Amino acid sequence: MAVLKTENLTKQYGQKETAVLALENASISVERGEFVAIIGTSGSGKSTLLHMLGGLDRPTAGKVFIDDKDIFSMKDEELTIFRRRKIGFVFQAFNLIPTLNVYENIVFPIQLDGNSVDEAFVANVIDMLGLKDLTDRLPGHLSGGQQQRVAIARALSTKPAIILADEPTGNLDSKTSADVLSLLKVTGQKFHQTIVMITHNEAIAQMADRVIRIEDGHIVKGGEASHE
């Protein structure tokens, strides 16, 4: 069953002579529990696509469905709440809060929503990602790889319908990148998570279950999940 689906997603910036079509009629579907990589060169439209999938930017035309909900039929405030509950983000820049320790960063989205923390689940995530001895540390005292593992734990903590990872290893060296991606994949499998990751790196993309290719704003390969 598709947890994420887009229909003819289109994004245009500017008007008339200055119009730039960043994305045109992009239709993809992602099954629950899949790990999908969206690969494309710089300027291919992959970041634009990811921002639409996460409800961070509204399309010019087309639809995005998460858990069968048309996310752009919602008003801004409703969409903000839906995004916080249903989508986990992992960014290249980590985006940790420097004044909060590791544990506080991980549970921050849950508390922001006014919910109680599932301590056993969060402890399991922390353990899986090798963060058990780091929970009291501030982000400034962590390596890049450790910070990205905290960002992954934070994304998992709300048990979202889908995790969107935007070049999650872009700031890491090759060995740390491989370690972080392996952990992302293993934790995704353990917690039955759906992960969509964008990357320009072919080797990184091959770690996914399926690769979607985007060129010049068009999906050229792998947009639909196979139903074997």
Q: Output the DSSP codes for the chain.
A: -EEEEEEEEEEEES-GGG-EEEEEEE--EEETT-EEEEE--TTSSHHHHHHHHTTSS--SEEEEEETTEEGGGS-HHHHHHHHHHHEEEEETT----TTS-HHHHHHHHHHHTTPPP-HHHHHHHHHHTT-GGGTTS-GGGS-HHHHHHHHHHHHHHT--SEEEEESTTTTS-HHHHHHHHHHHHHHHHHTT--EEEEES-HHHHTTSSEEEEEETTEEEE--SPP--
Q: What is the pLDDT of residues 144-174, one digit of tens each?
A: 999 999 999 999 999 998 999 998 888 888 8
Mean pLDDT of 103-121: 92
Whole-number Å distance between alpha carbons of 89 and 162: 9
- Per-residue pLDDT, 208: 92
Separation of alpha carbons 87 and 207, rounded Å: 21
Backbone angles phi and psi of 166, in degrees to 5: -105, 100
pLDDT digit string (tens) for 192-214? Answer: 899 999 998 888 898 899 999 99
What pLDDT, on the 0 to 100 scale, is given for residue 227?
Answer: 45
Taking only the tens place, the pLDDT of each residue in 5-18 is: 999 999 999 888 88
Task: Report whether pLDDT(113) > 60.
Answer: yes
pLDDT at 14: 87
Please report, rounded to a whole number, the percentage of residues in the chain having pLDDT higher than 90.
64
What is the rounded CA–CA span in Å between residue 168 and residue 196? 11
| pLDDT in the model for residue 228 | 38
Q: Average pLDDT for residues 170-194, to the nearest whole number?
A: 86
Which among 102-106, 148-152, 218-222 has the top mean pLDDT?
Answer: 102-106
Please give the residue that has the higher pLDDT: either 41 or 73. Answer: 73
Per the DSSP assignment, residues forming a β-bridge with 31 are 2
Examine the pLDDT at 226 and tell me if it is beyond 60: no
- What integer best gives the mean pLDDT of the chain? 90
Give the residue, 222 or 133, on which the prediction is more confident.
Answer: 133
pLDDT at res. 121: 93
How far is the C-alpha of 154 from the C-alpha of 148, rounded, in Å? 10
Would strands 218-221 and 210-215 be described as parallel, antiparallel, or unpaired?
antiparallel
| Cα separation, 39 vs 30, whole angstroms | 15
Q: How confident is the model at residue 225 (pLDDT cuts 50, 70, 90)?
A: low
Nearest Cα to 86, choosing from 183, 186, 3?
Answer: 3
